Amino acid sequence: MCVFCGASLGKDKKFRETAAELGRLIANENAELVYGGGNIGLMGVLANSVLENGGRVTGVIPQHLKELDVCHNGLSELAVTKNMHERKNTMYELADYFFVLPGGIGTIDELAEVITWSQLCIHKKACALINVNGYFDDFLNFLKKSVEEDFFRQEHFDMLIVTDLLQDAFKKCRSFVHPGKIDKWSNKAREQYRGG
């Protein structure tokens, strides 16, 4: 399981509690965590929880961040990449599915790329957005607005699993079946492009 989350803890203590709970679940489910390799913020809480509960953790971190002393030194495995692009690609390749916990713009960047690659069938892996205390409500409203304005297909939006329950997310990811290729561009968009 690849998890994207913040390198800060955030203000809401529920964020930290959820990261720790997810770590316990990953270990108990005999899953392996793949994440960004950090020892700080929700990333550190998550990784430590998996390790403390006997699980395995693979961190993927770019060289320039490793040099900033934010790298977790107690992981099962650590992959050091040349840059952020290589880091994300490595994480995507290692993952069977994705969980997204609260985080900042870096977390949204990773989530957006996973959604984009899914809609283009570059991968067919499940992605669960863990909406802790409504943290992602505004982002979800943006996606809904994108659907309304014909920039994003409803079918693609529906591929994103949204829940605040970790066990529910596990279940849905494991039973997820990618719908296959869906035309990214609606008929309306095609007509507009053609001047219709």
Distance CA 148, CA 176 (A): 25
Helix (H, G, I), strand (E, B) or coil at 38: strand
Helices (H) and strands (E) in the chain, counts: 9, 7
Burial of 167 (0-12, 13-18, 19+ CB in 10 A): exposed
* pTM summary value: 0.90
- 196 residues of the chain, pLDDT tens digit each: 999 999 999 999 999 999 999 999 999 999 999 999 999 999 999 999 999 999 999 999 999 888 887 889 999 999 999 999 999 999 999 999 999 999 999 999 999 999 999 988 888 999 999 999 999 999 999 999 999 999 999 999 999 999 999 999 999 999 998 888 776 655 555 555 555 5
**Where exactly are the structural domains of the chain?**
2-193
Q: How far apart are the first and last CA of the chain?
A: 45
Write down the pLDDT at residue 177. Answer: 87
Alpha-carbon distance of 10 to 58, in angstroms, equals 23
Tokens of residue 128, six digits: 């669960």
- The rounded distance, in Å, linking the Cα atoms of 60 and 7 is 14
Q: Which two tokens stand for residue 119?
A: 């809609």
Helix (H) / strand (E) element for 128: namely: strand 127-130
Q: What is the pLDDT of residue 167?
A: 95
Distance of alpha carbon 178 from alpha carbon 173, whole angstroms: 10
2-193: CATH number: 3.40.50.450
